Amino acid sequence: MSKTFTLNLITPQKQILRDLPVESIVLPALSGEMGVLAGHIPMVVQLGFGSLRYKQDGVEKEFAVMGGFAEIVHTAVNVFAEGADLAEEIDEEEEKQKIKRAKESLSRKDADIDFELAELEIKQSLARMKVKKRRLN
């Protein structure tokens, strides 16, 4: 049995990874992190906000993913994420500013404020910052 399998990472905007041979994947499942190796049983997993990590040729790469689901089949894992950012490309200062703006909008009592959207922005930025900090340590 092969020790590698294929990873595909797709967002509504674009396909980020296509047919990438990997040795392992860690997914941010809603119930906690889930590891996948070659030969994993087929299943579908709902994803939360968090870290998607994979190993290719012994090197680990990481993405911050913003929900979605993963389809695990015999020779591939297909991740359909609502959003994904490569850890090295995340700008921590920009994420801090997004959180600040969202908190400021939540503190106003305007009827025009979309509270769910502001809270979502905060959750997404916190997930990105957590992934970025993991890469720095």
Whether 11 and 69 map to the same domain: the answer is yes
Whether 15 and 82 map to the same domain: the answer is yes
Give 94 or 44, the one with higher predicted confidence: 44
Look at the chain and report how many structural domains it folds into: 2
Whether 78 and 14 map to the same domain: the answer is yes
Looking at residue 113, which CATH number applies to its domain?
1.20.5
pTM: 0.82
The 3 state secondary structure assigned to the chain is CCCCEEEEEECCCCEEEEEEEECEEEEEECCEEEEEECCCCCEEEEEEEEEEEEEECCEEEEEEEEEEEEEEECCEEEEEECCEEEHHHCCHHHHHHHHHHHHHHHHCCCCCCCHHHHHHHHHHHHHHHHHHHHHHC
Looking at residue 31, which CATH number applies to its domain?
2.60.15.10
| Per-residue pLDDT, 30 | 93
Whether 67 and 111 map to the same domain: the answer is no
Whether 119 and 80 map to the same domain: the answer is no
pLDDT in tens, 78-130: 999 999 998 888 888 898 888 888 888 778 766 576 778 888 888 888 888 88
Owning domain of residue 118: 91-136
pLDDT in tens, 57-86: 999 999 999 999 999 998 999 999 999 998
